[in-house]
Structure 1
Amino acid sequence: MRTPPAVSPTPAAASRTPLRGRAALVAVALAAVGSSMLVGAPSAAARPAQDTTQFKGVNWADPRDNFADDLLQLSGLSTTDTYRQTYAKATRVIAAFRANLGANTVRLPINPYTVNGAYWKSYRGVIDAASDQGFKVIVSYWEGTGPRKDGFIDDEATYWPMWKTVVKAYKNDERVYFEPMNEPHGYTDTQWADIAAKWLDTYKSVPRNRVFVSGAGYNDHVTTVCADPRLKGTYLSLHHYGFWKEYATYDQWVADLKVRIGDCANRTVADEFGAPMTTGLNYDKATPDDNFVNYVQAVTDTFRELKMGSVYWPGLRTDDIYSIQKLVGPPSRPWLETTNQSGADRLAWAWGRGKPVGK
């Protein structure tokens, strides 16, 4: 989500479809397309890698920016779809993310309405379809909307059971990662670290190298969660947006990003960053007078330099000028088209491909 801070932030089992059944589903869908740690020093198996470049991804969002007091409905899907229908549509969308962008990771929202009721069976089709195609899946909790959109967990009486259900379903799927909360800006840095530590203690069965601890505030700095020994062994998620400043130069954007990361780049994934993609901006060309061009070139260069993974916001969200993909084709057989090739070029560069452009 792209809700700006009030001021510019500063650093301070539910039965899963049997494997053979899912394999059959993925074969059908692809044919239609076209062919783990406790407090203390982490063990080698539970320690994040020395860089996070394995995460090359996009967010797939509800048109409402994922803030909802009801069922989440990802762009291109329907809450009335069965598991099989959801799985088939999601298979095509995930395949398009890979074909068009070279992505291997997708970040998805959850909330208690979606998980704690009957729709969870269908919604799991999205997670399963992505995992079955080899995608890494980051599952993140979003709060509600209106007065509930305040940076706090809406209702702990439904929040913890939600995560119990999700963890039970996916703790043994090594491709699924858990992000306890998106942008916990209602809490102080210390309060948020306490909640993240409680999450880890509650779900000890989840390896720490499959947990993304959000940076404090609007995920806008990871320095405090990085320094907390209780959170060792986890990945850290950072959000960073160009609209946080009216204007900054390329060098100023590089400096702004680096101070939010501190010396924690080897654990950090930028799982939200984005800029307008449908307004005709050319991110392949140096345009020093344009804030967003400066921003996109700066952050993608920096992610590559620091060997950081990144997950663009959004890969797909209906009616969002930031969306780098748009839906095409019939609703029952969705496919995607790229909205800005220069934006896709910059993603490829951040992900270690392509050639330097823009500067």
Structure 2
Amino acid sequence: MYVLFEEILGARKVVLNRSTKLNVLTYKMLGKISEKLRTYENDPMVKLIVLKANGKVFCVGGDLVSASKFVAYGHWSFGTSYYRKEFCLDYLLATYKKPMVAILDGSVMGGGVGISIHSTFRIVTENTIFAMPEASIGLFPDVGASYFLSRLPGSFGARLDGAEMVAMGLATHFVPSQNIQSMEKALEKMVASSDATSVTTISMIINKFAQEVKVKPESVITRLDMINQCFSRKSCEEILYSLEHLAIQVQEKWIHNAIRSMRFASPLCLKIFLRIIRQGRSQNIEQCLDTEYIAISHILRRTVSNDFYEGSRAILIEKDKKPQWVPSKLEEVSDEMVAKCFLRSFTEDDDWFPLRLPLRYDKAKAMTSKL
């Protein structure tokens, strides 16, 4: 079983159990998790959900290898089925009505971020690494990233550790890995012995095991002024130029890492994401997911470029790590190319279906206490 569901008096655990594949999310896993979460939400006996994973990794994302092969053996629209399933789960989690604790004791990337970022409590440890590396494989950060990243200071795609995630607001608590099991048992005991479980009582339990974070002096998040100065530029070309100019004046690792990441990523996808994340600042989670789905559909359709399939080949399948992007340079990606990826210009021959997010009630209340 790639995902396990454990029943405890008053609580339910959702446990990712595909550790040999870094807990990558398959289509069936997404469906089973969605089904169980709906059941738990409507069960008055369930007062708390715990989301965790077996192994040393929480989840490194969606099953993009299978998605790319699925499309290769059939029609491009087959791939959109996976994203509809994934985004509907992300939306369910973003609007979930019951307290949820996500334990991120290991790497959390891409789709793994999508299923955990909206949890009421997001617990990180010294083992946690956060990343959204999709542009390196011919995609862009999705799963609602245009919503949650656009609301954070200085977000620019760097890898973050657990302490940095707390400092940035991506996580709520830092708990040493050796204390995680004790924290879980304390939560289980509290839920089992109490008729009314509130966010406050859950927080009190977690706080007993949590530690104050100490961000390293050389941490990238201590450089937010410089980051914002560079990444507030109008275009990707100007952002890259600003970083390169800064690198001449300041010899710091994060600058060179940012430059390297931008140069390695798909130029088209960088421009798509810049537009999406800036639009996302004024959109709700529902609108952000819908916009991301439209853009992903065009990427799968090859409306402008073959970059997703080339990136999957180079990074995930053949692993030569030498993707040949087309267009290959930022300046070769026109505004018209980017604009095409935001149009609902699909025909009957495309066999495309829109993203139909599940009907949710009392959205404003459901979003309380979340990111």
Q: TM-score, normalised by structure 2?
A: 0.27
Between structure 1 and structure 2, the one with the greater Rg is: 2
Which structure has more RCO (C-alpha within 8 Å, separation ≥ 6)?
1
Query: Which structure: greater strand fraction?
Result: 1
Between Structure 1 and Structure 2, the one with more helix by share is 2
